[in-house]
Structure 1
């Protein structure tokens, strides 16, 4: 056994002791149930990336064990970290505790120091993304989180007001199955309520000429090619750098803005005040905060930008708006406000959009889901299409009905992914406050389950007969007092 393994085993023993001292996880308390002879899960979590695992761990720490995470990816490939996230390191500072749920022995820092030592930690700049994925794999193992990999959810529908049916396909066996849940958590990441966005004109071009930054791109095939990357965010820089490092002949960054955004506004006010207080804001103030941040835009990390600019064949075209694209002579011609440019391949780093038609798990619920545009009308000049199509969520990340009473089971579906940001702040898509988000979600589900099972819990209360006093701990002095009074009277 090498030193890294010894250090990790010591850390795991320390974590086990910490959990024991805190009496975590507590005893299970939710009554088990069945539907037509089939086991009913208390919670099914769709997605086993960082947010899905934090949700499962938070539920377990509240004594809710009848939980399963479903993820379509093979084990170890959940989330974006070693698939379409092409950065070298995380953006978040290394010391942030992220998914650790307030447990020091569960932090990335503890995991790293246990294997590489304090000196290595002191020298570490930012967290390499591959190591972050290794940490998440360990997180799942050490907490014993229930995950089924290579399972794709193909549909979901209400059975009753208190029960949801989930249809899924097992990728390994190819078999289909139906399972039931009292609550469903959508921990489905950046594209959680839709998918990648590209301009409509791109859809008319042969897909061999373009891809979205979240697609599985064969960068080796771009060696010697002319490549355009549309956008100026972190994913744009990371994809451009990856293409350059793969030997692309030239990579042009097509950037609509006249200047690159330079200040990460939300970082400037990050605090527990924002984490805990955002959800208490009025709708007007929530919109004002998020609209300002979106308009200011988040700058790409400095390291990612330098990763592009260090290549002489990496060019930045600012104040250049893409207007259309067409195929011509085995290439694509990009029409911009500055003229036409020819490329062999175009990568759209244009983000994601809410589109419920692309989510099979939500097709049956889509007509009933309330969005911000159904509830809130911003002031003139503050319209924002991305915010307007954000889901208008309840206090426990649950979807709300557009028309009250139209789909009562909708309250059982929780949106624990990036589009929840306008309702709850950034608690369900980024590293810094994900533990706070997980705890808020789990506490809400625990409250809902207890209320739903109140008759069972009351019956258990009434039936509980284990005495703490056995009757031999005292003498009844009232009888003696009576005899004393009678004797005095005589």
Structure 2
């Protein structure tokens, strides 16, 4: 739907923010800070540094605050209000999750996207949609941040992640100035490509100059596609998002190609959205996790119905099934593409070919990649399903922590938590970049973090209990006299 901000919406949202603060206050039991400060060389350490201030980093930061872990910082490279994908390269009309999805609000109903949407657009508008429009989702995240006041530092790029037995050191770059952040623990909340790179097939990258192709995740001037012949390799959700964006911008023609002979018609992810799977999938055996990854990878995700139908509403859109690109080259000023079913000419092409998860492709993860256990170190795949790419995923524990490749090596690597695409294999089929994972994944992550921090102060538990405290009751002077107690000073 088209966003409409009526004059009374601002007042309703202000009232909702106040209601959310009241709910937070009403459920504030056991949320006070409890972590003992840690210093190194006279300098205070953060308890937790969260890399990435998009939805995952924002929600995790708030959940930690509610768990009494307040000495945190969230670092994000983007300008304020533009964290994450929603107003950068995401192009879908609406998010893919059903509108009922929840978890980021942490059980505070007034913080939920449902409450926000109704306050902004009205109950009838909420009842009329099946999924939340993308721009509304981002507007909700901005409002959420303003209410919960998570400390996000924008314009900060993390260029290196190092670790030792006592903490994690992040090298940073902000406005051209190098710096560093020292924290006891670090969380990678860096989304889909935070553990690898967007994948452009070599047949494209090796055959064309860089200005003639893009990945669908690249930030593109859509207006420049007007009047152009566009080819898209890949027919997943991102491919249809790109197709619709190009068609709406006035592209002369958009052709989409996929190697499969049939279009994926089922969104299998919805079957995973049960408390059983979302809560307990990390407990599955490695063999079942591997088979699940094979199933999901083999079926592919169906495109969003809205953009599928929208693309087909344009007469200058076409799909080519069973048509992988066999050859691509420049033919004069045109891009010539050959498939088993024919030849085509384009002005610009896009790869809608997903992400390659491999820490070796992320310079800031070089030290982590050198010491972390990978699936190849812990699991022997079946002979009929080798899938070498999946073996590059880190072998995480159930609370998203990296593990040393060999016992006794890489001390401190368990201080880093991968709440991004790197957790896809170890968590049993639902990646942490999925909104559906948040309801159960965020509490699991927070338990891992608070458990780690509490374990480091076990030795102080008795000391804390025995420290001097003011009296818990006030005793009247005449009772003090009868008990033989000295008068209060």
Could you tell me the TM-score, scaled by structure 1's length? Answer: 0.92
Q: Which residue is equivalent to 2:191?
A: 189
Q: Distance in 2 between matches of 1:294 and 1:98?
A: 26
Q: Which residue is equivalent to 1:388?
A: 391
Q: Distance in 2 between matches of 1:144 and 1:271?
A: 31
Q: Which residue is equivalent to 2:313?
A: 310
Alignment partner of 2:78: what SS? Answer: coil
1:187-206 Cα deviation digits (max 9, x unpaired)? 01010111111112322221
Q: Which residue is equivalent to 2:450?
A: 446
What RMSD over aligned residues (CA atoms) do the two structures have, in Å? Answer: 2.0
Q: Which residue is equivalent to 2:460?
A: 456
Q: Quick check: 1:255 aligned with 2:278?
A: no
Q: Which residue is equivalent to 1:237?
A: 240
Alignment partner of 2:345: what SS? Answer: strand
Q: Quick check: 1:168 aligned with 2:175?
A: no
User: Pairwise mapping of residues 41-60 of structure 1 onto structure 2 (< 5 A)?
Assistant: 41-60=46-65
Q: Distance in 1 between matches of 2:30 and 2:79?
A: 28
Q: Quick check: 1:274 aligned with 2:277?
A: yes
Q: Distance in 2 between matches of 1:55 and 1:307?
A: 35
Which of residues 151, 159, 176 in structure 2 aligns to 1:146?
Answer: 151
Aligned length: 472
**Which runs of at least 4 in structure 1 moved beyond 3 Å after TM superposition?**
464-473
Which one is further off, 327-336 or 405-414? Answer: 327-336
Q: Distance in 1 between matches of 2:211 and 2:13?
A: 45
Q: Which residue is equivalent to 1:82?
A: 87
Q: 1:389 to 1:258 in 2, by over 3 A?
A: same
**Structure 1: which 5+ residue stretches go unaligned?**
477-490
Which one is further off, 38-47 or 380-389? Answer: 380-389
User: Pairwise mapping of residues 280-359 of structure 1 onto structure 2 (< 5 A)?
Assistant: 280-359=283-362
**Structure 2: which 5+ residue stretches go unaligned?**
1-5, 484-489
Q: Quick check: 1:32 aligned with 2:37?
A: yes
Q: Which residue is equivalent to 1:225?
A: 228
| Deviation of 1:320 (Å) | 0.4
Q: Quick check: 1:12 aligned with 2:17?
A: yes
Q: Distance in 2 between matches of 1:340 and 1:455?
A: 71
Instruction: Kindly indicate whether the alpha-carbon contact (under 8 Å) linking 1:98 and 1:434 is maintained by their aligned counterparts in 2.
Output: yes
Could you tell me the TM-score, scaled by structure 2's length? Answer: 0.92
| Deviation of 1:386 (Å) | 4.0
1:327-373 Cα deviation digits (max 9, x unpaired)? 22122222322343221111001011123233232112211121212
The structure with more radius of gyration: 1
1:118-173 Cα deviation digits (max 9, x unpaired)? 22222234211011000001111111101011111111212x302111111113xx
Instruction: Kindly indicate whether the alpha-carbon contact (under 8 Å) linking 2:283 and 2:398 is maintained by their aligned counterparts in 1.
Output: no
| Deviation of 1:461 (Å) | 2.2
Instruction: Kindly indicate whether the alpha-carbon contact (under 8 Å) linking 1:275 and 1:427 is maintained by their aligned counterparts in 2.
Output: no
1:60-113 Cα deviation digits (max 9, x unpaired)? 110000111111111111111111111011111112224111111111011111
Q: Distance in 1 between matches of 2:460 and 2:431?
A: 33
Alignment partner of 1:364: what SS? Answer: helix
Alignment partner of 1:86: what SS? Answer: coil
Which one is further off, 360-369 or 221-230? Answer: 360-369
